[in-house]
Structure 1
């Protein structure tokens, strides 16, 4: 009980905002993670976790039965849900993946704007724990477990400064990483026809070209970046 009370106190105690220079350097660090290819190839697994989690959450909300989630070493993933193969539920489920990281980043920015760095980290831990029970392959289990271990380590053992920097780094990484995955999606689509990407599956379901759906993904992500920058005082 004492541990739970300690966690609750940590989660609900606002932290002071980072110094402006520290905040800008942290955001620059997140941008480098997304822009430097070797680092991005490793960090992209975290975006895949959020992407597949987005599919899973919306599938359940739409009344579909979640069959499990797989995460692969090439940073791809697969979320299996059962229900009608067409209709609004399937459309919303497919729509959810690419915007998920941007929307999560926006939610994280809202929490950070109110000083809840630890609240954000523990919310991420709770989400990872819920996701873990839906993972259906060993690499996926390892990937989610390692991610959760890093978040837990910072939230429990890190100083207030380290926690604040890490929380902002995660937030900015989600926002920038979401944008890069959509740009990569379009590059991949332009190289091969008949793709099974979310955008192309949406195109087949709705008879609206895949490029339109890529545009929707990017629009949502750009709005999330703009709103997050405003919440955090960068603009």
Structure 2
């Protein structure tokens, strides 16, 4: 049985603010995340995290709009599939399709907001909780392994790592989601232009709405670039403070 004091300590650990990170940490973690996204070999591995957020966005939108969620599949080629049932047209289906490509950047923006308040531990535990919830919805072996590995790494860092390591991990991860959320939109349009993704989210949205697929790709890109810009300002708080620029 957990004591009141134990619950109090847990509450303090979860919601207490950590010290401001050194400005150099903010810069180096941003450069590290940019390198991971820009280099093809590292992107092929790290892109799994973006796929997890992408399919999680589809799943959450489906649940929030009243659709019946049948499951999520994550594949080793970094593709994914979220299956839901309900009306094949209408706002619920549109929002479910729309949520995928913008989800990684919006998750990154939420993470940047928490890090802007130096809530590193809270960020890591929220990430573990979301990954655990998604694990219950995954329907293939690779998807289960991918979530277990990702969630396990976050859990170990949140529980055992030093505050300095937690800060590096948290800032790098959030930068990665913000930057990494933009690249798939360009990849999507490149594949569409070659006729290799005729049933992409953007093309399905075009079938359901009066707007062409290219406009939906533009919407994905603008949302993600906006999230990157706002998230960068939130994450750059220590740099701005050192320069005497108030947020």
Task: Tell me the TM-score normalised to structure 2 length.
Answer: 0.92
Deviations 1:71-99 (A, max 9, x none): 00110000001100111100000000000
Q: Secondary structure at the match of 1:69?
A: strand
- 1:180 is matched with which residue? 183
Alignment of 1:125-164 (within 5 A): 125-164=128-167
Q: Secondary structure at the match of 1:207?
A: coil
- Equivalenced residue count is 235
Q: CA 1:5/1:146 → structure 2, altered by over 3 Å: closer, same or farther? A: farther
> 142-151 vs 206-215, which deviates more?
206-215
Structure 1 outlier segments of 4+, above 3 Å: 2-7
- 1:136 & 1:207 partners in 2: Cα distance? 34
Alignment of 1:1-235 (within 5 A): 1=2, 5-192=8-195, 195-232=198-235, 233=237
Q: Is 2:58–2:96's contact at 8 Å kept on the other side of the alignment? A: yes
Deviations 1:132-191 (A, max 9, x none): 000000000000110001101110111101101111111000011110011111111111
Q: Is 2:29–2:171's contact at 8 Å kept on the other side of the alignment? A: yes
Superposition deviation, residue 5 in structure 1 = 4.9
Q: Secondary structure at the match of 2:182?
A: helix
Gaps in structure 2 of 5+ consecutive residues? 241-247
Q: Secondary structure at the match of 2:72?
A: strand
Superposition deviation, residue 4 in structure 1 = 5.5
Deviations 1:7-61 (A, max 9, x none): 4322111111211112100110000110111110000000000000000001010
Q: CA RMSD in A?
A: 1.4
- 2:36 & 2:229 partners in 1: Cα distance? 20
Q: CA 1:191/1:7 → structure 2, altered by over 3 Å: closer, same or farther? A: farther
> 120-129 vs 188-197, which deviates more?
188-197
